A and B are shown apart, each in its own frame.
Chain A
Amino acid sequence: MVDVASETPVRRISNAYQNWYRFSRNPTAVIGALIVTLVVLAAILAPWITPYPEHVGAVVNFRARHLPPSAEYWFGTDNVGRDIFTRVIFGLRISLLLALVVLGTAVPIGTMLGLLAGYFGGWVEIVIMRLTDIALAIPPLVMALAVTAVLSPDLVNSMLAIAALWWTWHTRLIYSITRQLRTQEFVEAAETLGASKFHILFREILPNCVSALSVKTSLDAGFVILVGASLSFLGLGIQPPTPDLGTMVASGSAFLPDYWWESVLPGCAILVVALGFNLLGDGLRDLFDVEDVR
């Protein structure tokens, strides 16, 4: 179960400097934050920092195909002679976009449902928590496969399919926090003072979920990117020639082991992005002292 017992409502006003100090002393968090920042910057600045931005499209350059990593082509070239480094950097954009859209939908919805279920209890709780049980039983990847099969294999459909299941984790998290907070004195005090339900949910309870939520969201960003990469590895993500890391691993794997860089290096890129979000989440967990959020 995702229980968050250690998150206390006491430390609501935190000293920004103190937090920064503790953060900077936590190697996991710093490395994670560094990787995430670099990845995001690289993705945004891709057209300006990559050596061959034109290789993003359906460029063919047979004279330069299957070249190993060199000073000219850092990550080598693929089977039609495109620079893999360039395509990896551009591929980050898709991964990050996926994480952004999926979590941008799933987190607010999941949080809202978790708040409602945890605070109101009764049939609201039963309906919402049973829904999460159902959503939990479907593998996101399988769901995405099914949805993209029925609709068409493209990025938007995959994102919708993943988001349609991902909220359940946030609901469970916020639900368990809210349930604990509901009986806490500051909530009961607000209730006694006649505060509105809206005020209690969003002003009293929600702020106390923020740290757990940020840990969870950071960890999840990594996992969403992994699921997205798996989808495109299966050929159900964004369609070529737009560069996508999972797709690159899949198409490069046809040329293993001789041209290993064509699949291994994009694979490493996925790993590094996921690693960054994971370390950041891990570091935030230590920082906020929310032991049980996974």
Chain B
Amino acid sequence: MEFLLFLVRRILWSLLVLVGLSMVIFAIARVVPGDPARMALGPTATQEQVSDLREKLGLNRPIVEQYGLFVAGLARGDLGRSLLTERPVNDDIRSTFAATFELVLVTITIAFLLGVPLGVAAARWKDRWPDNLVRILAIFCAVTPSFFLALLLQILAGYVLHILPTTGRMPHNIDFVADITGLMTVDGLLKGRLDVLGEAFRYLLLPSLALAAATMGQIARITRSSMIDVASQDYIEASRAFGVPEPVRVFKYMLRPSFVPPLTILGLEFASLIGNAFVVELVFAWPGMAAYGIRTILQKDLNAVMGVVMVSGVFFVLVNLVIDVLVGFVDPRIRIRGAR
């Protein structure tokens, strides 16, 4: 019950964050010097064309009213029309977001599946060689620019090993449309196309590895320190005294309480993960939101840019809500007390 209240409160705060976010984005798009219509049309357009577009975009109305229209649109899920593709920004983002979402999902999975065991190993053999190895690995993961790692992986796969594809999301000769969820892996599974599923993972592997490294390093580091912290707790000593075997102690009694900090970190770092996704998508020619975002940014397509930033923010907020639920699930103290 308290947890429900806690969640409701979090959802309300999240909504507030989104309102704030919309203001920031609107401010960037409208208050900055320069005429969005002129920017979109370029210097060769006539004054008449510019004022036509200004009229169409509602740029001649008072700023508050413009913001009202923008928010009203957001509330309906309408991000306006792209000046570049002439299509609703929603459609453009919807068709690209699924690819980004799939990439990010696999990235998080990899980061956890690798980061947590590494952290556990480092904590188990604290100050011995596994610990030092993990520490070095974590530092290198943290300081290697994602785009550089992406390039290195691409060189490795494309020119040295020749096992994995280096660009795109699906081979051209496979005839498949992911029209159920938009995720190649899930839709492949749902439609019983195991070939698609396999290919989807082959194409996902390198980009998600490049993207996962930084987060994985953080997770390994945090898992290590929180495992060490938990290991010194009385209840772990107690379970030892009651003869609970070490594997159970480590993987059940220590791991679960140690799980909250890495989850929290993931939530905080999620924004920078999305940022890195932009670069990684570009290197691997991943047909995601980033490619669209960068293209529209270079074309000064304001509505699309606002849409992309807004969707990134909403993605962040939603992921953090999911993390709140997960944290409550992992740790009954939060579930019962409803605080964090």
One digit per residue, 1 when the CB lies within 8 angstroms of any chain B CB and 0 when it does not, for chain A 256-282 equals: 110010011001001100110011001
- Determine whether A58 belongs to the interface, using a CB cutoff of 8 Å to chain B: no
Give B38 Cβ to nearest chain A Cβ, in Å: 12
- Determine whether B11 belongs to the interface, using a CB cutoff of 8 Å to chain A: no
Contact A138 B13 (CB under 8 A): no
Report A-chain residues with C-beta under 8 Å of the C-beta of B222: 294
Q: In the complex, which of the residues B32, B271, B276, B282 has the most CB atoms of chain A within 10 Å of its own CB atom?
A: B271
Contact B309 A142 (CB under 8 A): yes
12 intermolecular pairs with C-beta atoms under 8 Å apart: A139-B274, A139-B278, A140-B275, A146-B308, A146-B309, A149-B296, A149-B297, A151-B32, A230-B147, A270-B148, A274-B144, A278-B143
10 closest Cβ contacts across the A-B interface? A141-B275, A139-B275, A149-B297, A134-B20, A274-B143, A267-B148, A139-B271, A257-B159, A137-B316, A139-B274
**Contact A147/B28 with A137-B17, A275-B139 known, Cβ cut-off 8 Å:** yes
Give the CA-CA distance A294 to B33 in the complex, in Å: 37
Give the CA-CA distance A231 to B151 in the complex, in Å: 16
Which B211-226 residues have C-beta < 8 A from chain A? 218, 222, 225
Which B132-177 residues have C-beta < 8 A from chain A? 139-140, 142-148, 151-152, 154-155, 158-159
One digit per residue, 1 when the CB lies within 8 angstroms of any chain B CB and 0 when it does not, for chain A 113-147 equals: 00000000000000000110110111111110111
Which B1-25 residues have C-beta < 8 A from chain A? 13, 16-18, 20-21, 24-25
- Determine whether B206 belongs to the interface, using a CB cutoff of 8 Å to chain A: no
Q: In the complex, which of the residues A138, A143, A222, A294 has the most CB atoms of chain B within 10 Å of its own CB atom?
A: A138
Report A-chain residues with C-beta under 8 Å of the C-beta of B25: 146
- Determine whether B305 belongs to the interface, using a CB cutoff of 8 Å to chain A: yes
Question: Which of A234, A275, A279 meets B279, CB within 8 Å?
Answer: A234
Report B-chain residues with C-beta under 8 Å of the C-beta of A257: 155, 158-159
- Determine whether B272 belongs to the interface, using a CB cutoff of 8 Å to chain A: yes
Q: In the complex, which of the residues A1, A134, A137, A141 has the most CB atoms of chain B within 10 Å of its own CB atom?
A: A137
- Determine whether A187 belongs to the interface, using a CB cutoff of 8 Å to chain B: no
One digit per residue, 1 when the CB lies within 8 angstroms of any chain B CB and 0 when it does not, for chain A 14-50 equals: 0000000000000000000000000000000000000
**Contact A230/B24 with A130-B16, A146-B305 known, Cβ cut-off 8 Å:** no
Contact B297 A146 (CB under 8 A): yes
Give the CA-CA distance A246 to B283 in the complex, in Å: 13
The total of interchain contacts (Cβ-Cβ below 8 angstroms) comes to: 158
Contact A141 B145 (CB under 8 A): no
- Determine whether B66 belongs to the interface, using a CB cutoff of 8 Å to chain A: no
- Determine whether A193 belongs to the interface, using a CB cutoff of 8 Å to chain B: no
Give the CA-CA distance A253 to B306 in the complex, in Å: 30
Contact A229 B145 (CB under 8 A): yes
Which A211-233 residues have C-beta < 8 A from chain B? 222-223, 226-227, 229-230, 233
Report B-chain residues with C-beta under 8 Å of the C-beta of A13: none
Report A-chain residues with C-beta under 8 Å of the C-beta of B293: 142, 145
- Determine whether A291 belongs to the interface, using a CB cutoff of 8 Å to chain B: yes
Give the CA-CA distance A267 to B153 in the complex, in Å: 13
- Determine whether B312 belongs to the interface, using a CB cutoff of 8 Å to chain A: yes
Contact A230 B279 (CB under 8 A): yes
Question: Which of B16, B151, B225, B265 meets A267, CB within 8 Å?
Answer: B151
Contact A143 B151 (CB under 8 A): no
Question: Which of B147, B271, B297, B298 meets A138, CB within 8 Å?
Answer: B271
Closest to B222 in A: A294
One digit per residue, 1 when the CB lies within 8 angstroms of any chain A CB and 0 when it does not, for chain B 278-310 equals: 110011000000000110111010100110110
Contact B143 A142 (CB under 8 A): no
Contact B302 A150 (CB under 8 A): yes
**Contact A133/B28 with A230-B147, A275-B143 known, Cβ cut-off 8 Å:** no
Question: Which of A223, A234, A236, A256 meets B155, CB within 8 Å?
Answer: A256
Give the CA-CA distance A279 to B142 in the complex, in Å: 11
Closest to B39 in A: A150
- Determine whether B29 belongs to the interface, using a CB cutoff of 8 Å to chain A: yes
Report B-chain residues with C-beta under 8 Å of the C-beta of A223: 272
Question: Which of A145, A148, A249 meets B148, CB within 8 Å?
Answer: A249
Question: Which of B139, B151, B275, B278 meets A282, CB within 8 Å?
Answer: B139
